[in-house]
Structure 1
Amino acid sequence: MLRWLITGLGIVLAPLAANAETTARVLEFDTLSGWQDDDHAAALDVFQETCRLMDDAEWRNLCAFAATGPDAKNFFELFFRPVLIEDGSPALFTGYFEPELFGSRSRNGQYRYPLYRKPPAEYVNLTRKEIDQSSLLSGLAIAWVDNPVDVYYLQIQGSGRVRLTDGSAIRVGYGGENGHPNRSIAQELINRGIMKRSEASNARIRSWFNRNPSLGQEILWTNPSYVFFRKVSVPGNKGPRGAMNRSITALRSLAVDPRYIPLGAPVWMEKSGRLALKRLMVAQDTGAAIKGAQRADVFFGTGAAAGEIAAQTNDAGRMVVLMPIQTAFAIAPDWAE
């Protein structure tokens, strides 16, 4: 039984909860289905985006060597060992993406839905309805967009890109929230009999809101939670920033639970489903719903197409974290296969 949690950017000796059944096994690379066929060089490039930020000397030394341009597959096989960490819950992979919205720097007839910075303390606890109906925050708008549902989905994802009418674009990231509980508008539509569960995709919800703007606004207000934003400086050819404050990469970056998987670590993913994936990812992000040793969110990229794939992802499989050799056997000294 694994008696210590892996957390943050290294290994911290912190006892597990008494009821936790967390185990760790060191595996061989030839037990990783699809390992031989992956693009290891692509994974190594993504690993180097964040490995220099890791807090442990063993990781930093490997990061320095990665910068010398080694053969990628040999690098991972020589200096790492796959470690399967399980906590008794089945593996679950979901997806996320970076929304792309259309907006303006100033409010007008088409662009009238704001993306707000976090307001002063006296306004933070207002509900979504109170915020939407108030004009007190209008001076805090980063941009104005053309669809209130897009604002809602942007708040769920926490970051996105806004293409502006002047031809420029801005990136926004999570800037705080109002502290009210989050309630799903999809579930509200289902509860009211407006949609069946099988129909409640992001695309169909957005289409319904466009046809029913008044009732749609009422549905939105049933969710009192509200997320504020901040401007984020990211090059246009890069992905949004993850939890390590560096850009993440489509189909190579994972959001994980850092209590079990160090941020910055390579992670071998075997995911079933409509888009089955067997590839080397890098743990570069976190998420409020990502809890557990075998729980992860796959970053699918930017825009509507990525959003549809992400919304349909709810798959089984397994993930195996690649640990430096000494760390791997310190975690699981009796489980080598």
Structure 2
Amino acid sequence: MIAPLFRRGRLALCVAALLALVAGCDKEPEKPEPPKVDTYTKASWEELPATSDPDLLAGFRAWRSACARLAKDPVWSAACTSAGQVAEDPAEIRTWFKAQLEVYSLRNARNSPQGLITGYYEPVYAGSLKRSKQSTVPVYGIPDDMIVVALDGLYPELKGKRLRGRLEGRVLKPYDDAASIRSNGVDAPVLAWLSDPMDLQFLQIQGSGRIQLDNGRQLRIGYADQNGHPYRPVGRWLVEQGQLKQEEVSMGKIRDWAKANPQRVPELLASNPSYVFFGLNPDSNEGPRGSLNVPLTAGYSVAIDRKVIPLGSLLWLSTTRPDGSPVIRPVAAQDTGGAIAGEVRADLFWGTGAEAGELAGNMKQQGQIWLLWPKGVPLPSTAAAQPQASKSQG
């Protein structure tokens, strides 16, 4: 029996070797890695498209408004000091731009300078400080039982990353998702009450807003924290359900669908597990404060991806309004957003109220972005510009 077993063993080895050889022949050769793309491509001032504004004054003012916050920033401190000495004269400001800053075209992973430019705004919704038959949707502050764990103390490479959860015994469990919070409530202060759950959803997407009270006062609220679950656009769910086409998605279309399908609104909202908690802001007529904690300037403040563009940066934006008219101007990177991710990506703040909301809701344009970076300062690196928790979802 030894010889037949030996022969069968040799045969098995030969078959295995043959199969391995055949598999090796069928295997596609490994594809070479695509060439690395420079996110920041050096450009000249002459390559920039001409501004659609009369001059650079408005964009310069919007950026300089954050200099008090940037005074100790090693990137912008010197530029801010010199900017404070520039007269508000268009010719002097243009001279300052060229003397202080270098131009870099932002490129995406496909080496394209084209990207997506959207808009956001500060909504105003009717509400009440007390629950009533009409006002039944709570606007929550930060829950008392939510624990936030910063990870960068032990792991610097996780700078800006946060874990959010609730203690159950000695175990930290994920915090409730949005559907659970809406169904079961949460251990948190109620700042105000709204009448429409879609108002709260859009308020969470924008990250800040005003609540119009019966006595004429407008209660100002802003992003305070988030439940730790990923943001998923409700518009994407409508597309997946065949309710809207991708090119049709806008805040107006989403609200129209919700009004026509009230019985499915809970299902729509459950598709986004993220939930934003708010804090009260002082009453004032200034713009809402973004992630840089300075008032945003309508038309000149943008939310960006901090992995690519550090907060406080000065940018040159070239895009269009929804009607096709050009928007070419310097803008200030003063905010972030959960849906704002990518090299050539920005969310342009349009202001407060219904008119700004109409413009922001229809804003889904192609555009280009140039980083205007201080001369002699090393370019940002994706390792050094990790994002913190964004102030909004949109």
CA-CA distance at 1:321 after TM superposition: 1.4
Q: Partner amino acid for 1:78?
A: A
2:82 — aligned with what? 65
Confirm whether residue 313 of structure 1 aligns to residue 370 of structure 2.
no
Partners of 2:223 and 2:279 within 8 A in 1: yes
Confirm whether residue 104 of structure 1 aligns to residue 128 of structure 2.
yes
Judged with a 3 Å threshold, the aligned counterparts in structure 2 of structure 1 residues 267 and 224 are, in CA distance, closer, same or farther, namely closer
DSSP 3-state at the match of 2:369: strand
DSSP 3-state at the match of 1:297: strand
Q: Partner amino acid for 2:254?
A: I
Unaligned 5+ runs, structure 1: 1-17, 333-337
Judged with a 3 Å threshold, the aligned counterparts in structure 2 of structure 1 residues 135 and 320 are, in CA distance, closer, same or farther, namely closer
TM-score w.r.t. the length of structure 1 is 0.81
Matches within 5 A, 1:1-337: 20-35=36-51, 38-54=54-70, 55-57=72-74, 59-70=76-87, 71-89=92-110, 90=112, 91-119=115-143, 120-121=145-146, 122=166, 125-134=175-184, 137=187, 140-233=189-282, 235-236=284-285, 238-272=286-320, 274-327=324-377, 331=379
TM-score w.r.t. the length of structure 2 is 0.71
Quote the sequence identity (%). 34
Partners of 1:255 and 1:283 within 8 A in 2: yes
**Whole-angstrom distance in 2 between the partners of 1:291 and 1:219:** 23
**Whole-angstrom distance in 1 between the partners of 2:55 and 2:374:** 20
Number of residue equivalences: 311
List per-residue Cα deviations over 1:167-219 (Å, max 9, x = no partner): 11122122222233434333333444444444443223223323443332333
Partners of 1:234 and 1:240 within 8 A in 2: no
DSSP 3-state at the match of 1:326: coil
Higher mean C-alpha displacement, 59-68 vs 186-195 = 186-195
Q: Partner amino acid for 2:339?
A: A
1:11 — aligned with what? none
Structure with bigger gyration radius: 2
**Whole-angstrom distance in 1 between the partners of 2:271 and 2:52:** 49
List per-residue Cα deviations over 1:154-177 (Å, max 9, x = no partner): 111221121211211122122222
Higher mean C-alpha displacement, 224-233 vs 33-42 = 33-42
Higher mean C-alpha displacement, 55-64 vs 107-116 = 55-64
DSSP 3-state at the match of 1:319: strand
**Which fold has the larger relative contact order, with Cα–Cα distance below 8 Å and residues 6 or more apart in sequence?**
1
